[in-house]
Each structure stands twice: as C-alpha cells, then as structure tokens.
C-alpha cells in the first residue's frame, strides 16, 4: 500500500518558476503519467518526489508519512533513469544486487531475488555481462530489474523509453503495462510522448510551463480537454483548430470562420470570438449537409495503409482529416469540403483558451 500526496509543492529557481504550487494525490497501485513538452516541470516534479531535488515549498507524503526532506535512500523508492545510469564497472548481477547489498540483505536472499527478477525480465543469460556489452533494450531491462529487486513502495521512471528505437519502444511499452499489472505497484512515469501517456497511464497529469493543465484518465483528457493546450497535445494527429466567432440563431449556434460555416446544437452561453476544435478522426469528406460546410484545398496526402491523413488549407489555417483507407482519397491540390461527424466539437474562448462548450453538428 503506497499512496503519494503532494501538498502545495513548488520549485522556484532564481529566475523562474519550474513548478507552480499544486496538490495531487496518487492512489495505491496507480500508473500516473506526468506528460508535457520539454521544460514543463514534469521531471522536476519527479525529482522532488525522489528526493534528488528539494521543493521550494509544500510537503510530500508517502503513505501518510511526510518525506519532504528525507534523504532519497530512506524514501523506499526506486528510479529508472532516461540513460539507465547502470554502474559501468559492475556486471548485470552486481548492478541488480547493489542496493540489496547496501541494505545488508544476506547473500542467499540477494541471489534468489536477483535470479527471480532476472527470469521475469529475461535477463538470466546476461547476468555476467557488463553494461557496455548489452544492447539498449537489454540495458533498459537491467535498469528496470535494478529497481524491481528493491521491492520499493514507488517506482519512478524518467522517460525510460526515449533512448530505444521505435519498434522496441512499442514492445517495451506493452511489457511495462504487463509489469505494472503483475507488480501492482505505484508507478510515477515521466514522458513527453502523449502516446505513452495515453496507453500506459491509469491517470495523466498534463503540464505546461510549470502549471498543471489537467489531471484525469486518458479518455477524460481525450474527450473532455479543459483547454486548447490539452486538446492540441492529446491525440495522433492532435486536435485541429479553426478560429472564428459563434452566435446564437434560433435554437442553434452558428460558427463562422474563414471558408467555414457550421450549424451546431447544444448548450453554449457565450458568443463572440472562439477557437473551434475538431479531432482529425472526426472529420469526413462530404458535401451532403446543406447548412454546414468547411471548404479547403488539399496540400499533403499521407497514406499510412490503415488510413489516409489529409492535410488541408482552410483559408489561412491548417486542418488535418484522418479518413479510412477504403475511401478514395483526394489528390493534392483538390478543393474539397469536409464536415465533422457526430462526435463533440470543442469550443474554446479565444482570450483564455479555456473550453467553454462541447457542441454537436446539427443535421
């Protein structure tokens, strides 16, 4: 049982705020992903939890016990580093056994634990090798093994997959999910890759410029982004935006932008300048609807087999549509009309960029 609690934790350097004060509770067994662009404060947050960095204010609790100023080694947490940080002059076995040795665990227990962990990670044949004799993927597994043997209360992972090639990254991603299920451990994971966040996290904390933008399950962030930044960060390709204005017309709301007019239904109190957000997967090539239209010119076609990604210019803005490969794709330079499907369309205030409404296309 390991819960983590941040209370008004912040980190301020001489000239800038790396992490603005925030509260966060992480439940036992959760796989929490801290995600955001570089410099957003996610790694600093992780390092404050590890004890390698001291917070400027606030408190951190693990299982209700305050550990804000406790030495890293006494926090009972293990960390997997981006570059693995294996000890170069020790064999795989020694690397994994090191922490246990320092804890004065008896030799026999160390041996059983290391061997068991090595078997779990398929490392048995590599135990006598040195880190420099291993491939990137193997080194990564050793780094994981070194954390697992300690049976820590919390695992911290700082972009552990970013040094792997694309194929191995996808494979290791699933392995990590399985590992989490098996160990049932609390994991705090830092990444800048939204796909890792979406696939692995039971909950995501999305950060930007040291400020938490949204906390929620992957689907909450995908379906109900609280602002334009979250909307544009999650999704592959991410949500697309058109600027324009909305006004009420009878029971409907009309969005008017450059080369674009949409008749929408739903609840919306405000009117005026807004951003309209649509996910590429919710756009289809069509001209059937009389009351709504988005007119664009095709600039790039990316056929990835299962689907086709169509890049369009709508007035002065860019739009991306993801259409099934079965549909006959348009050609570069074609003028096309696209329309949103029944999925929600997100409306963001132009000034604050906060979500103000979720509307639907009117028939």
What is each CA distance from 302 to 241, 308, 320, 326, 330, in whole angstroms? 20, 6, 10, 14, 11
From the list 78-86, 163-171, 223-231, 346-354, the region that binds other proteins by CB under 8 A is: 78-86
- Residue 146 or 228 with smaller CB distance to other proteins: 146
85 binds other proteins (CB under 8 A): yes
Task: Give the number of residues in contact with other proteins, rule: CB under 8 A.
Answer: 24
Nearer to other proteins, 143 or 205 (CB): 143
How far apart CA 84 and CA 147 sit, in angstroms, is: 11
- Give yes or no for residue 270 binding other proteins (CB under 8 A): no
- Contact between 105 and other proteins per CB under 8 A: no
- What Rg value do the Cα atoms of the chain yield, rounded? 25
Token pair of 24, please? 């966060």
How many C-beta atoms lie closer than 10 Å to residue 56's C-beta?
Answer: 15
| Using rule CB under 8 A, residue 78 touches other proteins | yes
50 near other proteins, judged by CB under 8 A: yes
Judged by CB under 8 A, which stretch of 26-34, 73-81, 236-244, 348-356 contacts other proteins?
73-81
Q: How far is the CB of 98 from other proteins (least distance, A)?
A: 6
* Residue from the set 16, 65, 69, 89 that interacts with other proteins by CB under 8 A: 89
Mark 140-179 with x for binding to other proteins (rule: CB under 8 A) and - for no binding.
Answer: ------x---x-----------------------------
Indicate which single residue of 7, 70, 81, 252 sits in contact with other proteins (rule: CB under 8 A). Answer: 81
Nearer to other proteins, 99 or 179 (CB): 99
- CA 28 to each of CA 48, 68, 147, 281, 354: distance values in angstroms, whole numbers, following the listed order: 19, 19, 18, 35, 31
Half-sphere exposure of 73 (CA within 13 A, CB side): 5
Nearer to other proteins, 104 or 108 (CB): 104
> Chain-centre distance of CA 99, in angstroms?
30
Contact 9, 58 (CB under 8 A): yes
Q: Are the C-beta atoms of 6 and 20 separated by less than 8 Å?
A: no
- In the complex with other proteins, the residue whose CB is nearer, 154 or 212, is 154
CB of 294 to other proteins, least distance (A): 49
3-state SS, residue 246? strand
How would you classify residue 265: left for phi > 0, otherwise alpha for psi between -120 and 50, otherwise beta? beta
Phi/psi of residue 162, nearest 5 degrees:
-75, -15
Contacts with other proteins by CB under 8 A lie at 50-52, 71-73, 77-79, 81-89, 98-99, 102-103, 146, 150
């Amino acid at each position: 049982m390991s819960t983590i609690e941040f209370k008004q934790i912040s980190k301020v350097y001489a000239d800038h705020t790396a992490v603005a004060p925030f509260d966060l509770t992480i439940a036992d067994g959760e796989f929490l992903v801290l995600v955001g662009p570089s410099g957003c404060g996610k790694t600093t947050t992780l390092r404050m939890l590890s004890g390698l960095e001291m917070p400027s204010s606030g408190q951190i609790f693990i299982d209700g016990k305050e550990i804000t100023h406790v030495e890293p080694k006494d926090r009972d947490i293990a960390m997997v580093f981006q570059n693995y940080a294996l000890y170069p002059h020790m064999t795989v076995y020694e690397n994994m056994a090191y922490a246990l040795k320092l804890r004065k665990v008896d030799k026999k227990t160390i041996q059983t634990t290391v061997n068991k962990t090595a078997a779990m990670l398929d490392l048995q044949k590599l135990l006598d090798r040195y880190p420099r004799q291993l491939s990137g993927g193997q080194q990564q597994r050793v780094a994981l093994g070194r954390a697992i043997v300690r049976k820590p209360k919390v695992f911290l992972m700082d972009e552990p997959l970013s040094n792997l090639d694309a194929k191995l990254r996808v494979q290791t991603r699933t392995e990590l999910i399985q590992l989490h299920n098996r160990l049932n451990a609390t994991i705090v994971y830092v990444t800048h890759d939204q796909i890792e966040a979406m696939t692995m996290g039971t909950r995501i904390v999305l950060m930007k410029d040291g400020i938490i933008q949204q906390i929620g399950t992957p689907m909450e962030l995908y379906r109900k982004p609280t602002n334009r930044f979250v909307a544009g960060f999650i999704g592959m390709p991410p949500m697309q935006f058109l600027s324009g204005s909305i006004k009420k017309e009878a029971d409907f709301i009309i969005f008017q932008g450059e080369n674009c007019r949409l008749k929408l239904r739903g609840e919306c109190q405000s009117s005026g300048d807004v951003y309209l957000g649509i996910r590429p997967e919710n756009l289809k090539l069509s001209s059937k609807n009389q009351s709504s239209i988005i007119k664009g010119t095709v600039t790039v076609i990316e056929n990835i087999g299962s689907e086709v990604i169509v890049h369009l210019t709508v007035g002065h803005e860019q739009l991306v549509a993801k259409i099934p490969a079965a549909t006959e794709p348009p050609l570069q330079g074609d003028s096309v009309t696209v329309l949103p499907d029944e999925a929600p369309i997100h409306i963001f205030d132009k000034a604050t960029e906060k979500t103000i409404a979720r509307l639907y296309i009117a028939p």
